[in-house]
Structure formats: structure tokens, C-alpha cells
Structure 1
Amino acid sequence: MTGRLGRIVRFGLVGVVNTGVYYGLYLLLGLVFPYLVAHVTAFVLAMVGSYFLNCYFTFRTPPSVRSFLLFPLSNVTNFVVTTAGLYALVTWLHVDQGIAPLLAAVVAIPFTFIIAQLVILGRPGPAAPLVREEERTS
């Protein structure tokens, strides 16, 4: 699978792996730390793995120091939404701490893809100017 659709599918697969890594670490760390500390620590560790998987598998480009340092920007929205969602689900809606992070993560995925693509691949070139039909024929 190539092109944009292939990238989206590969990003989804990396997301599934990343979510599994995050969730496993969250549950493990939750045995020792409060749930928000476990969440933040697991999130950061999973993000490092996600960067390398996205470079090699999703976008098929070598990692660089620049994109590694910028990659957390692609997760800021994800982090804010999942953290706020986790807090709201656990504190206000009394959702189980074991299920809440999975529910909170779903909303941020499309935003993360768009920003990750920009960070890892760089900005797309300038778009060609639009030309009206009558200008093309003159």
C-alpha cells in the first residue's frame, strides 16, 4: 500500500502498537504510582517508540535529531486531550482507571497523524496557483 492511504493505514497500525505499549506501561506503573504519574510516564516512553516506528514504518524516512526533537509537538494535542479526558472520566464520570485512558485516546488520533506527518516529512511545497478556465485558454 502506497501513498496517503498507505500512510494512514501504517499510522493506524503504529497507533495500535503504541497504544498497547502505553497501556501496558500505564498498568504496570499504576501498581507503584498514582494514575496520573503512571499516565505521563507511560505516555512519554511510548512516544519515543512511536517516533521510531513512524519514521521507519509509517513515513519510511530516516530519523533525525531535528524531527526527534520536534516529534513531541505531534503529541501535544493527543496528550492534552487524553490527560483531560482521563481526568474527567475518572474524577467526574467515575470510569474505571483501567479503561479510561483507552476511551480518552480515541478523540486525538486524527490530529496526531496530521502533525506527525508535518514534523517527520516537513511541510509540503507551495500549492500551484489556481488559474481560471478563461486564463488558461488565452
Structure 2
Amino acid sequence: MNNPYLWSIFYGYGIICSIFIDLLAVKIPKITGTIKIAFYVLAGYLIFLPFGWMMVIVGGTVGALCSLVFYFGTYMARKNAFFKYIFAICAPFILCIILNTDFTVKKDWREWKRNSSYIALFDYFHGEHAIPIYAEKGQTITFFR
């Protein structure tokens, strides 16, 4: 989630899909708003096809929701020029803030570091806590849960 490279790929994919869907709507006048929404949802799912069905279900649902937000933004941008610039600047800015926010939750976290051991006890943990481990070739590292 916090890889800016992946987000730039998804964002670029969204822009390319939007352009393609808009060109399709111009070439085929029978494409209505409902069909455009279906294309956006489909585009949200398609990018995850190479990664297997589980990613299609989970990632595709998130992708479809994001594509609907993207469609809503482009729709509102046509109605209001001020919204167009606010959306174009704020959407990537909000994504950057979310990507750089740490949502880790630790309750009653206690840790002890020694020369050859690290112990952490906690009542609740959700997120990430990096623990540097230094080892040389030939040494054994053992983990216990």
C-alpha cells in the first residue's frame, strides 16, 4: 500500500482507461452514463486479472470503488470548472498523505532488547514494527511466536 511506484501505475492506468472510455463514448453515441460506469467498474477489476482470482476479488473491488470515485470526479469536473482543478490537485495530494500516514496500533507494547535476543509482548497489535536483525554468514536466526 505504501509503494508510490505502484500508486503511480494505478493512477496512470486510471487516466488511460478514462481517456479510452471517453473516446469510446464519443465514437459510439449509444453509450450512456450507466454503460460508462460499468466500463469504469470493469476497468477497476481488469488490472488485477494477471494476479489471480483472489486479487481480482479483493483488489478489483477496491479498484472498482476507486474508479467510481475517478468517474465521479471527471463527471463533476465537466459541470464545474473550479471543481476540476481542486479534484486534479487534491486527489493525488490526499493519496500521498494517506500513503505516508502510519496507521499502526499498539496497545500495552513492551519490548526488551539484549545482545542476542529481542522480546516483545503486547495486548493488541495491528500494523508494522520493524526490528533490525544483524547476522553474518553461518549464523542461525530463530523466531518464536
TM-score normalised by structure 1 residue count: 0.47
Higher fraction of strand: 2
Higher fraction of helix: 1
Point out the structure with max Rg over C-alpha.
2
TM-score normalised by structure 2 residue count: 0.45
